[in-house]
């Protein structure tokens, strides 16, 4: 498994509702296994966050995850792939953010993951 995949599977903050409320699916995109699909009144499909495919060991449909999920790169992942941080450093950031709450967590999410 690549460092990027290891980080993403250990993190899950983009899947647990911390960063987004939903992940859109393209009209012709198949539903990923284990994920619950919702539909807007206009017929657009999406995965509601927290995603039902997210489990204790990460994304249960990682290999078949939707394009929106595949395409998202948080700031921490970008730093990892640019060799600005090591995998152990990135994993330590994830652990720290997961242990935080309130304004401290909100600030960490903005700084490390790009939540606006």
Residue 36: name the closest of 14, 62, 54 by CA.
54
Question: What percent of the chain is modeled with pLDDT above 90?
Answer: 90
Distances (CA, A) of 116 to 18, 53, 63: 11, 24, 28
Handedness of CA 62, 46, 54, 69 (dihedral sign): positive
pLDDT in tens, 45-98: 999 999 999 999 899 999 999 999 999 999 999 999 999 999 999 999 999 999
Residue 34 has pLDDT above 90, yes or no: no
Residue-range domain boundaries for the chain: 3-113
Give me the pLDDT at residue 45, please.
95
Q: Which residue has the tokens 């296994």?
A: 33
Higher pLDDT, 38 or 115: 38
């Amino acid at each position: 498994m690549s460092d990027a995949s290891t980080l993403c599977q250990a993190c899950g903050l983009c899947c647990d509702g911390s960063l987004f409320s939903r992940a859109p699916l393209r009209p012709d995109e198949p539903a990923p296994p284990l994920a619950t699909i919702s539909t807007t009144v206009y017929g657009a499909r999406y995965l509601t966050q927290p995603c039902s495919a997210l489990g204790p060991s990460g994304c249960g449909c990682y290999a078949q995850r939707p394009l929106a999920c595949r395409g998202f790169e948080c700031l921490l992942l970008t730093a990892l792939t640019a060799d600005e941080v090591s995998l152990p450093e990135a994993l330590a950031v994830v652990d720290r953010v997961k242990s935080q709450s309130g304004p401290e967590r909100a600030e960490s999410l903005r700084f490390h993951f790009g939540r606006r």
